[in-house]
Chains A and B, each alone.
Chain A
Amino acid sequence: MSDPITYIQAITDAMAEEMRRDESVYCLGQDIGTYGGAFRATKGFLDEFGRSRCLDTPLSETAILGAAVGSAMMGMRPVAEMQFADFITNGFNMLVNFAAKSYYRWGAKVPMVVRLPTGGGTRGGPFHSTNPEAWFTRVPGLKVVTPATVRDAKGLMKAAIRDDNPVLYLEHKFLYRRIKDVMPAEEFEVEIGRARMVSEGDDVTLVTYGSMAYYAEKMLDQIEAEDGISIELIDLRSLLPLDEETILNSVRKTNRVVILHEDTKNGGLGGEIAARISEFAFEHLDAPIRRVASLDTPVPHAPQLEDAFMPQPEDIRAAILETATY
């Protein structure tokens, strides 16, 4: 058995293993070569793979994503790093218009991965804490994944690199070095489009992903012990395509559901999930669908403000209690 590794190490390992396996895989981004990346996800890549497969690019998000698209069309498998997910706004057109639509329009495969260091809880403020998923989960042609465990971090990265479509890989900065796990010795990948059933339960379905899956999992035992509520916890991990079947099956079983995400509420993915539940499982519901999400403001900087902005354990617990006892 090997030593446990961190979430970010899992990302690093997955990329390195894929680069060893397949010469068409390469990384590009700002400060990823000499410096090893702002979060050191590509540390050591320059030495092992050389400058041509670990490209330090100009500070140019559109150029990075455009180069990824063009090289992918020519048969490469780029893994592009945005230094922070927030900066994807500068490359929005390249993703939603070029990368996402080319296969549908004229059959061009665009096998590329865009790594997006995502999320708050790190006091990064309005421009370094964004949860960008809802900007993209409504774009046909893209895939959006977000691992909440070390194992999924590795397995989803492998699947993303091997996928023939543009995949946005949302890696939560808060989890980078906070969680560790031992990886299976054998090769594995995690299928995109399948949710992870964290724990089966009978009373309330809790649908979540990303950092909130991490928080929620830690609360399960306490809620069960103190409140006597058995929670079925679903970590979506693939936001587009969405594993609708797992969600609906669970709701049909528990008849109650809370949707939780760190992204802001208005227009967040939770709204889409709630809509599908009410569209396809309405008659199974014994309580209103409840959403727990961040406040509809930019992500604030000071700890007191950011904590108030993001869902806290007591908010989650209260929502579950209300739903369970409705």
Chain B
Amino acid sequence: MAKKRTKKKAASRTARTKGAAKKKRPAKKAPAQKKAKKKPARKPVAKKVTKKKATTKNAKRPAKKKTAKKKGTPATDAGLAKYKPEFLLGLYRDMLRTRATDDRLEALYKQGKLVAGCYSSRGQEGCSVGSTAALKPVDVIGPMIRNLGSILRHGIPPGMVFRNYLGRATGPTKGRDGSSHFGALEHNMIGPISMLASLIPVCAGAALAFQMRGEKRVALTWIGDGGSNVGDFHEGLNFAGVMKLPLVLVLENNQYAYSTPIEYQTAAKNFACRAEGYGIPGVTVDGNDILAMYEVTKAAVDRARRGQGPTLIEAITMRMRGHAIHDDAGYVPPELFAKWEKRDPILLFKRRLKRAKLLNKKLDDQIHAEVTAEIEAATEDAIAQPLPIGGISELHEVYA
């Protein structure tokens, strides 16, 4: 998160909005990590930063709200003070729901109960929940396989996910597709296909529909560091840029595409710089800082809603499991996992909430208990659902 949060900075919040912060990618072995910045930022970096500052360089970030100066708030965290506690706790809860769902699916997989693979989003909950929190319910999401948090945050019941992973007849695909590969138009969710980046042109098309009808809606979709090298990425973003479509693309740079590290995916210094080729803003953010993720996405979503076109957001994060659970990720250096384990998005946010006195053990326990109960109930319910019957007529339902 862009933490320019010394007190004196908090006081002059509006003044600082235009300075570009410096960005730095948290972990990575690729050589040139830092982005060249052309803007003469004033005192570019927040000085006392803990280990990472996220940094967004969004030239046209809207002027911030004038914040009532919360003199009285705990001298801890001006960044949090801008938000209602229930919003912040909601983010926290949705990350927990995501992890609980992932963990439950992983357990089911290991018990041999899933129909096929299990694709964990562990470590990326901040990216998904934080970005999706910037949306209104009328907005459309096009989640990828590791955006379970986006699905849950946008209001899709976890039971749909379990039913689909379990291949149940009453699931969103009736057993015709698995994992989180489903859509739900009643929840404004477009389902992905396995061919990566295809969602970008498709979500651009959803955005096009909104634009044509004069609806103030936005489409948000995601891609990975690997998937961003498919041609659809280029065609979709270019199209969206030309048409100034209300589309936001979050590129989750989670360091690996299956076993392939990012230095084998691109020779560019980062992924956000690709935005320049499309004439749209490109921003880099710490994807494990959920509030930074929210803020950067919110600025992009607001911009899109105002009719100012798409934004590419590169979120730096880490995939904490293999490509799927069958993959032990032995190609990832253990030190890298260890380093990112300390930067777990849930852990980071929990600490921050506690420091700000928004969360204590009792409340934390209560939230955990509620989340566990919800996810357990969804699991039980899904397991109890009927399996599909392999009838011919059922199989032939290919036409609307």
The complex places the Cα of A74 from the Cα of B170 at a distance, in Å, of 24
Comparing B231-239, B253-261, B320-328, the segment that makes contact with chain A is B231-239
Is A63 within 8 A of B208, CB to CB?
no
Place the interface of chain B in its size category.
Answer: 35 or more
Is B44 part of the contact surface with A, judged by Cβ < 8 Å?
no
Is A106 within 8 A of B173, CB to CB?
yes
Interface residue ranges of A83-108 to B (CB < 8 Å) = 93-94, 97-98, 100-108
Residue of A nearest to B140 (CB): A74
Is B191 part of the contact surface with A, judged by Cβ < 8 Å?
yes
Is B201 part of the contact surface with A, judged by Cβ < 8 Å?
yes
Is B210 part of the contact surface with A, judged by Cβ < 8 Å?
yes
A residues less than 8 Å from B219 (CB atoms): 70
Interface residue ranges of B179-212 to A (CB < 8 Å) = 181-185, 190-191, 193-195, 198, 200-212
Is A60 within 8 A of B140, CB to CB?
no
Nearest chain B CB to A173's CB is how many angstroms away?
26
Pick the residue among A62, A78, A164 that contacts B201 (CB under 8 A): A62
Whether A58 contacts B239 in the complex (CB less than 8 A), given A70-B207, A108-B191, comes out as yes
Is A67 within 8 A of B205, CB to CB?
yes
Nearest chain B CB to A64's CB is how many angstroms away?
8
Interface residue ranges of B236-273 to A (CB < 8 Å) = 236, 238-239, 242-243
Comparing B121-129, B363-371, B392-400, the segment that makes contact with chain A is B392-400
Nearest chain A CB to B249's CB is how many angstroms away?
13
Is B399 within 8 A of A67, CB to CB?
no
Nearest chain A CB to B46's CB is how many angstroms away?
39
Pick the residue among A75, A97, A141 that contacts B399 (CB under 8 A): A141
Is B202 within 8 A of A69, CB to CB?
yes
Nearest chain B CB to A73's CB is how many angstroms away?
6
Whether A104 contacts B398 in the complex (CB less than 8 A), given A70-B190, A71-B209, A97-B193, comes out as yes
Is B198 within 8 A of A66, CB to CB?
yes
- Most chain A beta-carbon contacts within 10 A, residue among B176, B191, B200: B191
The complex places the Cα of A63 from the Cα of B231 at a distance, in Å, of 10
Pick the residue among B194, B205, B238 that contacts A71 (CB under 8 A): B205
A residues less than 8 Å from B181 (CB atoms): 105
The complex places the Cα of A107 from the Cα of B202 at a distance, in Å, of 16
Is B176 within 8 A of A66, CB to CB?
no
The complex places the Cα of A108 from the Cα of B206 at a distance, in Å, of 13
The complex places the Cα of A71 from the Cα of B246 at a distance, in Å, of 13
Is B376 part of the contact surface with A, judged by Cβ < 8 Å?
no
Is B77 part of the contact surface with A, judged by Cβ < 8 Å?
no
The complex places the Cα of A164 from the Cα of B398 at a distance, in Å, of 11
Is A60 within 8 A of B209, CB to CB?
no
Is A237 part of the contact surface with B, judged by Cβ < 8 Å?
no
Is B177 part of the contact surface with A, judged by Cβ < 8 Å?
yes
The complex places the Cα of A69 from the Cα of B201 at a distance, in Å, of 9
Is A165 part of the contact surface with B, judged by Cβ < 8 Å?
yes
Pick the residue among B176, B206, B208, B209 that contacts A105 (CB under 8 A): B176
Residue of B nearest to A53 (CB): B212
B residues less than 8 Å from A164 (CB atoms): 399-400
Is A58 within 8 A of B242, CB to CB?
yes
Is A72 part of the contact surface with B, judged by Cβ < 8 Å?
yes
Nearest chain B CB to A169's CB is how many angstroms away?
16
B residues less than 8 Å from A53 (CB atoms): 212
B residues less than 8 Å from A104 (CB atoms): 176, 397-398
The complex places the Cα of A64 from the Cα of B212 at a distance, in Å, of 15
Is A70 within 8 A of B202, CB to CB?
yes
The complex places the Cα of A217 from the Cα of B200 at a distance, in Å, of 46
A residues less than 8 Å from B130 (CB atoms): none
Nearest chain A CB to B167's CB is how many angstroms away?
13
Pick the residue among B200, B212, B400 that contacts A66 (CB under 8 A): B200
Is B172 part of the contact surface with A, judged by Cβ < 8 Å?
yes
Nearest chain B CB to A74's CB is how many angstroms away?
4
B residues less than 8 Å from A16 (CB atoms): none
Is A73 within 8 A of B204, CB to CB?
no
Pick the residue among B205, B211, B235, B243 that contacts A68 (CB under 8 A): B205
B residues less than 8 Å from A52 (CB atoms): 211-212
The complex places the Cα of A242 from the Cα of B195 at a distance, in Å, of 29
A residues less than 8 Å from B236 (CB atoms): 62-63, 66
Is B235 within 8 A of A63, CB to CB?
yes
Is B205 within 8 A of A66, CB to CB?
yes
B: which residues have CB within 8 A of A? 140, 172-173, 176-177, 181-185, 190-191, 193-195, 198, 200-212, 219, 231-232, 235-236, 238-239, 242-243, 397-400
Q: A53-B212, A62-B232, A66-B235 are in contact. List 9 more A-B contacts (CB 8 A).
A: A62-B201, A63-B201, A70-B203, A98-B195, A98-B202, A103-B399, A103-B400, A106-B184, A109-B400
A/B interface sample: 9 pairs, CB < 8 A: A60-B238, A74-B140, A94-B232, A102-B191, A103-B399, A104-B176, A104-B397, A141-B399, A143-B399
A: which residues have CB within 8 A of B? 26, 52-53, 55, 57-58, 60-76, 78, 93-94, 97-98, 100-111, 140-141, 143, 164-165
Closest 8 CB pairs of A and B: A66-B201, A70-B205, A67-B205, A74-B209, A63-B239, A164-B400, A63-B235, A70-B202
